[in-house]
Chain A
Amino acid sequence: MTALAKRIGLMLGLPAVLFALWWFGSAGSTDFYRPPLQRILVAFKETWFGSRIVDDVLPSLARLAVGYAVAVAFGVALGTAIGLSPRLRALVEPVLEFLRAIPPPVVVPVLMLFAGIGDLMKVLVIVSGALWPVLLNTVEGVRAVDEILLDTSRSYGVRGLNRLRYTILPAASPQIFTGARQSLSIAIILMVISEMFAASSGLGFTVVQFQRGFQIPEMWSGVLLLGLLGVALAALFRLVEHRVLAWYHGQRQAHRSW
């Protein structure tokens, strides 16, 4: 237990130190654009703990969740299909490489044409950008499943859906998770951008409004919130990954100690 406590301590201790540095470093600031941390925290409390949670924050998070879930589901499904067929892979690889090289935010103007500035557009934006890392990593993970595992499955008659469920997907899961993690960062970025660029509500939109209205402490508080969001989601992801991939980490640990 003390190892865990130490880790948590290390994890929380560091942000605490950074916060302290920020607090004391900015304490006496009279710069309009760089207010003291204290003012920012006050603004934080006033701004975000009200109706904004329901009006802006939760909808943004909901869109993020839906977009991310769709991207991952689609990416894994498509990626598995492509990864299993070398011919299909050769066929679509160049097209995929080109499509994924397009910087994700660029689809915002495109999708605005189709879908206006409503929820659908924002979710589509998230999906269209977050799809790629998980798709491509799934293709790679499925392609690279150990030959011996495949032979073992074949000789024991583990076929079709069984093979997918018990052999292919678990074997590819470490790589899939790598992709899913990258997809998460992209999804967050796109959620924010879609709201900054073209929206009438949401987290990103609110922060940009503050910026345009020169409400600086409120703006900083929004930036802070976005930062915390990113950190919190990353931590959540790591938690899930640690449980699902416990076998993988255990195996790597065992190999290292040989």
Chain B
Amino acid sequence: MLEVNRLHKVYDGHGRRVAAIGDLTFRVGDGELACVVGPSGCGKTTLLRTIAGLLRPTAGEVRIDGTLVTGPPPGLAVVFQEYGRSLFPWMRVADNVDLPLRAKHLGSDQRRHLVRDALAAVGLSDAHHAYPWQLSGGMQQRVAIARAIAYQPRVLLMDEPFAAVDAQTRADLEDLIRSVWRRLGVTLLFVTHDIDESVYLGQHVIMLSHAPTFVADELAIDLPDTRDQLTTRADPRFTTLRAHVYAQVQRAKRDVAGTGIASEPQHPDSR
């Protein structure tokens, strides 16, 4: 179970103090798939990095299964948006997936099995010996996902993983993620700016405000467990839920939260 309690993050950047996160509190239950949406610049990436232990909070805490997060915790895997920069270009696909397992000091037989199964799960059984840069964007992101799967984490964080991928590939990857999640039973926190995606994927959507961020709203997604791109997205319930989230995000974009330290001026909205 993932708990975020009164998380507060301020950056000291070149003499200016920027409050990226104001006061965030939410919970993600064991094995739940929760999506985080918010307007751009609302600190989604900062939030994810803090949960991943890559950044230290200024105040507040993150707990995983009751244990305080002070650095990258074991049993947690992250999939970044920039797949091109997170895969190691000097290693072949199989070696990329293998590396975290090596760091875990697993035996070579076990590692081989995990790598093979993970790559099969993402549909890349044929790509073991390719280099990441020989693959398309969607396939590279699959490799990153396979790497996370092979690691057998208890918590999986994904930072707008499909933002840099074309729409058709995105749809395939969304379905892939749901099936992977179902199989592994992992607790998945999925950050996205795509409202439709958040409703399609999540059991629970957390909507963030404008920076300095707080939780503006949470919504339980009561769509059926088996989802698919055609029927689910045509479901009237989907449309209602989506509209709710959309309205909330629009509201967040318009308001500038007035709590706490002065926030960085945002780019003027195009509307």
Q: A contacts B directly in the complex (CB < 8 Å)?
A: yes
Residues of A that sit less than 8 Å from B by CB: 146, 148-149, 151-152, 154-159, 162, 166-167, 170-171, 173, 247-248, 250-251, 254-255
Closest A residue by C-beta to B87:
A152
Smallest CB separation, A70 vs chain B (Å): 26
Q: Is the pair B100, A149 in contact by a Cβ cutoff of 8 Å?
A: no
> Is B104 at the interface (CB under 8 A from chain A)?
yes
Total number of residue pairs linking A and B with CB closer than 8 Å:
68
Q: Smallest CB-CB separation from A160: which chain B residue?
A: B103
**B residues with CB within 8 A of A:** 49, 52-54, 72, 74, 76-78, 80, 82, 85-86, 88-91, 99-100, 102-104, 131, 133-134, 147, 151
B100, A255: Cβ atoms closer than 8 Å: no
Asked if A170 meets B131 with Cβ closer than 8 Å, knowing A154-B72, A155-B76, A155-B78, the reply is: no
B188 to chain A minimum Cβ distance, whole angstroms, is: 15
Among residues of A, the one whose C-beta sits closest to the C-beta of B137 is A258
Beyond A148-B80, A151-B78: 6 further Cβ-contacts under 8 Å? A155-B76, A158-B100, A171-B90, A247-B89, A247-B91, A251-B133
- The reply to whether B86 and A148 contact each other, CB–CB distance below 8 Å, is yes
Q: How far is the CA of A166 from the CA of B91 in the complex (A)?
A: 9
Give chain A nearest CB distance to B87 CB in angstroms.
8
Q: Which of B54, B88, B133, B134 contacts A154 (CB 8 A)?
A: B54
Kindly list the 10 A-B residue pairs having the minimum CB-CB distance in the complex, ordered from nearest: A156-B100, A148-B85, A251-B133, A170-B90, A247-B90, A254-B133, A155-B72, A158-B103, A152-B86, A155-B78
Which listed residue (A155, A247, A251) contacts B54, Cβ 8 A?
A155
Contact between chains at A158 and B133 (CB < 8 Å):
no
Q: Could you tell me if B134 and A250 are in contact, using CB atoms closer than 8 angstroms? A: yes
From residue B129, how far is it (CB to closest CB) to chain A in Å?
Answer: 13
Q: Given the complex of chains A and B, what is the CA–CA distance between A154 and B104 in angstroms?
A: 13
Q: Which residues on A sit within 8 Å (CB–CB) of B131?
A: 247, 250-251
Per the bound structure, the CA–CA distance linking A162 and B131 in Å amounts to 20
With contacts A148-B80, A250-B134, A251-B131 known, is A159 near B88, CB below 8 A? Answer: no
- Cα distance, A255 to B85, chains bound together (Å): 13
A34 to B80, CA, bound (A): 66
Closest beta carbon of chain B to A252's beta carbon, Å = 9
**Contact (Cβ within 8 A) A254 B88:** no
Question: Which of A151, A170, A255 has the largest number of chain B CB atoms within 10 A?
Answer: A151
CA distance A140 to B91 in the complex (A): 22
Known: A154-B72, A248-B90. A162 touches B54 (CB 8 A): no
Contact B89 A151 (CB under 8 A): no
Cross-chain contact of A151 among B49, B133, B147 (Cβ < 8 A)? B49
- Report B-chain residues with C-beta under 8 Å of the C-beta of A166: 88, 91, 99
- Bound together, the chains give a CA A63 to CA B103 distance in angstroms of 40
Chain A residues positioned under 8 Å from B151 (CB to CB): 156
Q: CA of A152 to CA of B53 in the docked complex: distance in angstroms?
A: 12
Nearest to A174 among chain B residues (CB) is: B90
Residues of A within 8 A of B88 (CB): 149, 166-167, 170
Complex: A156 Cα to B131 Cα, angstroms: 20
The closest CB in chain A to the CB of B102 belongs to A162
Beyond A154-B54, A248-B89, A254-B134, is A162–B103 a contact (Cβ under 8 Å)? yes
A171, B91: Cα distance in complex, Å: 11
Q: Closest CB-CB distance, A174 to chain B, in whole Å? A: 10
Residues of A within 8 A of B104 (CB): 157
* Cα distance, A158 to B103, chains bound together (Å): 5
Q: A251 CA to B131 CA in the complex, in Å?
A: 9
List, in ascending order, chain A residues with CB within 8 A of B86's CB. Answer: 148-149, 151-152
- CB of A154, distance to nearest CB on chain B (Å): 5
Of all chain A residues, which has the CB nearest B71?
A154
Contacts of A254 in B (CB 8 A): 133-134
Considering the complex, give the chain B residue whose CB is closest to the CB of A255: B133
9 A-B pairs whose Cβ atoms sit less than 8 Å apart in the complex: A151-B49, A156-B100, A157-B103, A158-B100, A159-B103, A162-B102, A173-B90, A250-B131, A250-B133
CB of A129 to closest CB in B, whole Å? 30
